Structure 1
Amino acid sequence: MLTGKQKRFLRAEAHSLQPIFQVGKGGVNEAMLVQIKQALEVRELLKVRILDNCEEDKYDVAEQLASGTNAELVQLIGLTVVLYKQASKREHRKIELPKAK
């Protein structure tokens, strides 16, 4: 579980990122979750864009993405979801979170 300070840090880090996945009319599916898991292992922090034609509620989509990838939901702003998951391999870890008090 991320603290407020850690979420603020991650939001600032994600500000300059471009979304690399899109959730469209078909919603969240297993193949998409596998690809997002792989990208999170390498990048740790990424954005996912929910397209206007997505029939599901944006809050449900964000929750499905977070739970399906075992990632932390950092932010849902507009139709953009920011996800964070610490890389399991030390050599892939790029983000050093502020320490929780």
Structure 2
Amino acid sequence: MNFGVDKLKQVAAAFNKHDLDAIMKFFADDCILDMPRGPEPGGKRFVGKEQVREALAGRFKGIPDVHYGDDRHFVSGDRGVSEWTLTGTTPAGL
């Protein structure tokens, strides 16, 4: 996939819309998503589009108003990195 900062901004916009179909178009079949929270010290790893989609669906359900803000995006060669601040409230009000 050819990408630049604009593509990373599109990914962030899809996340903020909670649009799983749009989000998953940016992921390869053999993708890996590392979430910072989970049972292991480094969080939890999801491998493949099916696991990643399920994880993100769980995130949107668990934090219905989740928002990825203050985003910054960087690209160097064939690598891209996005940094953002996640905010949201769980159904329990936390």
Is TM > 0.5 for Structure 1 vs Structure 2? no
Normalized per residue, the structure richer in helix is 1
* TM superposition score normalised by structure 1: 0.29
